[in-house]
Amino acid sequence: MDVILGIESSCDETSASICIDGHIYSNVIANQTIHEKFGGVVPELASRAHQQHIIPAVQQAIAEAKIDKNDLKAVAFTRGPGLLGSLLVGTTFAKGLALGLSIPLIEVNHMQAHILAHFIEDPKPNFPFICLTVSGGHTQLVLVKNYFDMELLGQTLDDAAGEAFDKSAKILQLPYPGGPLIDKYAKEGNPRAFKFPNPQVGGLDFSFSGLKTSIMQFVKKEEAQQPGFVQAHLADICASIQDRIVSILLNRLQQAVDQTGIKEVAIAGGVSANSGLRHGLVQLGAEKGWTVHIPKMSYCTDNAAMIAIAGYYKYLQKDFVGQDISPLARWSVTG
């Protein structure tokens, strides 16, 4: 029985998961609400909260899986990319536990893990496939040739899609995290009410900084002319913002499919929970004859189940690391 403990601590969620023979038996996530009053994640506060949450999260994951810590065959942890202080907490705990139990240690790339979350439950993608990974820190188009053989086809040159959602929400004076709120209000609005620009970038890369600036200028201008404009048209503004971001993402995905000829596609990362993106991908996939893979909601945002499943596949390959390993704040999906 191959029992793997996965630990995720890249940003502001402390998570622990147990994977047994390729199946997830627990996935515990401790969220950090302290960042809400600051309008974004405060790295120092995040690392302190990880220190408080990591032991209870691991204990709960073990209890829910109905195993003993001595049943563990390896400890998998997020090495990066992410906030250095947060990663350090998870890395240090994983190293200590593995050393104490005399079991192997497995490093996991956070972005690869988001992609491999598709292998937690059926139906699983067939290799090769194209994955659009979209989160608060990353926006990437990845050609997935095998579990750990990935090619970066395109990425954002500045802001990530998730950051564009959150910053737009901040401009609209919505509380943090604002991305899910834009999604919520967008459902009640007209996506064609306001027109925002489509950034012109070559190749398969993305850019969202110009879009963010145009939204800020739009709001400033309309509020100056009509005080209370945002509040009166909030749903339409949110719908228009979401429609533009989703269209940018899906247009690039379609280009990638056209260039590679690969019609098996997936999305991953926190923004893959966005209802507009999920609906748009299903619709586009049906039109183009693609095989589409959309992750379960609980596997979209940062979680340890994806770390555990990635760790399981590495365990099968005996891909272990030593106790001298240290976290990486920046780490490409290609390894």
Based on the domain organization, do 94 and 164 belong to the same domain?
no
pLDDT at 35 over 80: no
Output the six-digit token pair for 53.
Answer: 């949450």
pLDDT at 262 over 70: yes
pLDDT at 39 over 80: no
Based on the domain organization, do 154 and 269 belong to the same domain?
yes
Based on the domain organization, do 290 and 305 belong to the same domain?
no
> What is the model's pLDDT at position 54?
97
Based on the domain organization, do 226 and 288 belong to the same domain?
yes
C-alpha dihedral sign at 261, 266, 272, 277: positive
pLDDT at 117 over 80: yes
Residue 152 lies in a domain: yes
For residue 181, give its domain range: 126-295
Closest by CA position to 53, among listed 19, 26, 15:
15
Based on the domain organization, do 165 and 180 belong to the same domain?
yes
Domain count, the chain: 2
- Of residues 25 and 44, more confidence is placed in 25
> What is the model's pLDDT at position 136?
85
Residue 215 lies in a domain: yes
Output the six-digit token pair for 164.
Answer: 């564009």
Output the six-digit token pair for 124.
Answer: 């699983």
Percent of the chain with pLDDT over 90: 91
Average pLDDT over residues 109-134: 97
Q: What is the mean pLDDT of the chain?
A: 95
Percent of the chain with pLDDT over 70: 97
- Of residues 234 and 202, more confidence is placed in 234
Place of tokens 């609980």: 298
pLDDT band at 20 (very low <50, low <70, confident <90, very high): very high
CATH of the domain at 225: 3.30.420.40
Based on the domain organization, do 154 and 89 belong to the same domain?
no
pLDDT at 252 over 80: yes
DSSP-assigned letter for residue 174? P
Angle between helices 179-186 and 161-171 (to 10 degrees): 80
Minimum mean pLDDT among 30-34, 113-117, 279-283, 305-309: which range? 30-34
| 8 Å CB contact between 113 and 306 | yes
The pLDDT tens digits for 153-181 are 999 999 999 999 999 999 999 998 899 99
Closest by CA position to 254, among listed 208, 290, 279:
290
pLDDT at 46 over 90: no
Output the six-digit token pair for 293.
Answer: 């893979």
pLDDT band at 235 (very low <50, low <70, confident <90, very high): very high
pLDDT at 34 over 90: no
Based on the domain organization, do 142 and 288 belong to the same domain?
yes
Minimum mean pLDDT among 33-37, 54-58, 97-101, 282-286: which range? 33-37
